[in-house]
Structure 1
Amino acid sequence: MAFPDSRIDYRRHPEAYRIGRGERGVFHVQPYKDELLPLWAIRNEADARAAVTALSARFRDYRNDGDFVGMDMARKYLQMGYTRARRYARYPGGRKRDAQGRALAPRDADAEKARIAEHYQRALDAVRDDTTYKRAKRAHQQRRR
């Protein structure tokens, strides 16, 4: 079975969930995509702060429910906020290449996006350091072996 498969309800079938690398699955793992994507934003600092707060709250809700897949997906959305904001901070318009396909040199182009990345980074670090999350992640990895 391919992962991620948007036809699977990963809340009902957490055994089918693979942690994967980085942000893999953020646009396909249901029902979490529908719950988390509307909360995610990097448009401006005010929206990003609200997004970080909302995503962190959802993480806590999933943790309280013992829902590892939800916790991990919330982590992935926080990670995506960080990586996208850093990209926009370093590359005007978020583009790494010019119109001719040549690589652009990274630079700190957008101070607001850099601040947004910092907000996401703090929340991401808190999730990664969460004892319950780490324990649930190890248990999920053991079950998948």
Structure 2
Amino acid sequence: MNDVVRGDVGEVDDGPEYDVNFRDEPGRYRHTPDERGVFKVEPYKSELLPRWAITDLAAAEEAATAIHDRYCEYRDADDFVGMDVARKYLQMGWTRAMRYAKYPGGRKYEDGEEREPQEWYDEEKREIALVYRDALDAVREDDAYERLQAAHCERYGEE
């Protein structure tokens, strides 16, 4: 079996994606609780990124629903990698929108110094963050997620 993906794998020439199809090689995927890999793990990136949006509340509601629906499709197929990447997109929607809600222009740093957050600089972005957080909470509360994560770790030797 090829090495698992821990950040030291070849990238494709035209982008940051790993040169791995993780649907075909799920054993190379390693779960992380953060958003690492969200723009690299194919084919899931290509399936989820076009659905992701934080431009306005209506777009975010549609996006969070579409991503959660894909999560459910992955779950129904016992595809933990897809489930986890969908979770990462929901998590990214929450964290990115919250950053824009607290910081003008979404910039947490200015001239190398961390800015003081404002509560709430952009109320709509806060609402968007809550939409994504609700969808993320639904994933976090899904027993199938924990069960398939444990099975993935056991099968592929993750700690």
Structure 1 vs Structure 2 CA RMSD:
1.2
Give 5+ residue unaligned stretches, structure 1: none
Q: 1:3 aligns with which of 2, 6, 25?
A: 6
1:44-82: CA deviation from partner (whole Å, max 9, x where unpaired): 101100000100110011011111100111000000000
Equivalent pairs counted in the alignment come to: 144
Alignment of 1:10-89 (within 5 A): 10-89=22-101
Quick check: which one's helix share is greater?
A: 1
Q: 2:145 aligns with which of 118, 130, 133?
A: 133
Query: Equivalent pairs: percent with the same residue?
Result: 51
- Structure 2 distance, partners of 1:136, 1:101, is 41
Is 1:105 the counterpart of 2:105 in the alignment? no
Which residue identity is paired with 1:50?
E
Which residue identity is paired with 2:6?
F
Q: Which TM-score applies when normalising by structure 1?
A: 0.95
Q: Secondary structure of 2:23's match?
A: coil
Q: Which TM-score applies when normalising by structure 2?
A: 0.87
- Structure 2 distance, partners of 1:94, 1:38, is 21
- Structure 2 distance, partners of 1:60, 1:111, is 30
- How far off is 1:36 after superposition? 0.4
- Structure 1 distance, partners of 2:112, 2:30, is 34
- Structure 2 distance, partners of 1:102, 1:131, is 41
Give 5+ residue unaligned stretches, structure 2: 10-17
